[in-house]
Amino acid sequence: MNRVWMITGAGRGLGRAFAEEAVKNGDQVIATVRKLNEDDELMKRENVLPVIMDVTNKDEVKKAVQAGLQKFGRIDVLINNAGFGASGAFEEISDEELRTLMETNYFGVTNVMREVIPVMRKQRGGMILTVSSQAGAMGYLGSSAYCSSKYAVVGLSEALRMELAPFGIQVASILPGSFRTDFRDNSSMRYAKNPMPEYDGTAVHATSKFLAENNHKQEGDPVKAAAFLYSIIESGNLPIRILIGKKCCEDVRGFLGDRISEIDSYIEDSSQTDY
């Protein structure tokens, strides 16, 4: 059965790769973008509906969902992909910068979910996948703001997975490692506007420098990531967290193993705290 996908941030990066993979397999795609390239051949395909939409604009989100339903009649798979990165020490990130990040990376996700969930509930089925990050499973130097936004959508997805199961809706998080997209470009990565000299020479500023200087060199292939994700969706059974990339899987597995060891180190004493 051909599916109808709604993919936010479908113009580039992983969102673009996901859209191309769906189209290649004969599915239909509601492709939301903030700006439409009139020369983009993908967006001219009969089974693609390009929609101008900013995830932080609730009216645009509502109109995009309605346009998709009018064109295709249903939404089977939602990929919440739109978002951007942030680098800098916690002290360097202003309230304004943090709130702007959360408006897109977290509240943008909830805006789209609020419109799509009723559609899937009435259909008695569907899949909702939100692109988090490896930074949504483990903390990173100089990424406190970004990690908090990505951890937030993982927690949201895991709770929604239980809430929506009675309606036949599956929910999962996508946690990619480093992929060779434009994510580290200035269009997708934001650095602290007011860096503090106190952090000069520390690992925090070294991390920001590394991100800026090592763009389009990441080990991950977006096309292969999209094919992998499509195969999981095709299986009909979504894991609660979908890690993408060898290093990502190894790093997160090691991180979680350490956390289990920590719990084991104090579980007996902690268990004595019950009434």
Please compute the mean of the pLDDT values over residues 236-244 and round it to a whole number: 97
Residue 1 has pLDDT above 70, yes or no: no
Pairing of strands 189-191, 126-131: unpaired
**Cα-flanking dihedrals φ and ψ of residue 249, to 5°?**
-60, -45
- By the 10 Å C-beta count (0-12 exposed, 13-18 middle, 19+ buried), 44 is classed as exposed
pLDDT tens for 125-135 read 999 999 999 99
In this prediction, residue 181 carries a pLDDT of 58
Looking up tokens 């990173």 gives 140
Distances from the Cα of 229 to the Cα of 109, 125, 237, angstroms:
19, 19, 12
Supply the residues annotated as catalytic: 132, 146, 150
Residue 183 confidence (pLDDT) above 60: no
Amino acid in position 153: V
- Categorize the per-residue pLDDT at 40 as very low, low, confident or very high, splitting at 50, 70 and 90: confident
Cα(80)–Cα(205) distance, rounded to whole angstroms?
30
Span 95-126, pLDDT tens digits: 999 999 999 999 999 999 999 999 999 999 99
4-247 carries CATH number 3.40.50.720:
yes
pLDDT tens-digit profile of 143-171?
Answer: 999 999 999 999 999 999 999 999 999 99
